[in-house]
Amino acid sequence: MLTELTEPTTLKASQPVNLVVNGTPLQLNLLPWVSLLDALRDYSGLTGTKKGCDHGQCGACTVICDGKRVLSCLSLAISKDGSEITTIEGIAPEGDLHPLQKAFIEHDAFQCGYCTPGQICSAIGMMKEGKAKTRAEVKELMSGNLCRCGANTNIIDAIMEVQNQSVHE
């Protein structure tokens, strides 16, 4: 006879969680310990947001929640009930590229690409915050996004280009 090693996880523990993801209302039924990251990747089919360390150290899971860049791995989805989330899939219309996506390609701002969705969502959040003016400030305020391929210099180049364009617009 099998012995149950863990408490059974009953569906009764699941609770409705409403999110607006990339403009689309989603009604999910989630256990309270599901992170926003897992809610997006495993329950909403949006795998653009990446799971790097899953401990808030790498920034790969960065999404924009109610206008602010946050780490989806350290957010409980249930706590974000009612929030508007923007992921890498939602930053530009289908078939089009966001200026940062174009700049990342032009500046060769990635190698493996795993950190890229987080880098771009973080950069969008940073520009919205409007606190980084100089290159040194951009580097400081992007330091929560690690690139282990070593494309950091090109990533900052790409962001600086878009930032300068936005200033001139």
Residues that bind another protein (CB under 8 A): 7, 9, 13, 15, 31-33, 35, 54-56, 59, 62, 68-71, 74-76, 78-79, 122, 125-126, 129, 131, 136-137, 139-145
CB 96 → another protein: shortest distance, Å? Answer: 26
Residue nearer to another protein on the CB measure, 37 or 46: 37
Nearest CB to another protein, comparing residues 9 and 153: 9
- Of residues 20 and 76, the one with the C-beta less far from another protein: 76
Minimum CB separation of residue 123 from another protein in Å reads: 10
Residue 36 pairs in a beta bridge with none
Least spacing, CB of residue 36 vs another protein, in Å: 10
Taking the complex as a whole, the smallest distance from the CB of residue 127 to another protein amounts, in Å, to 12
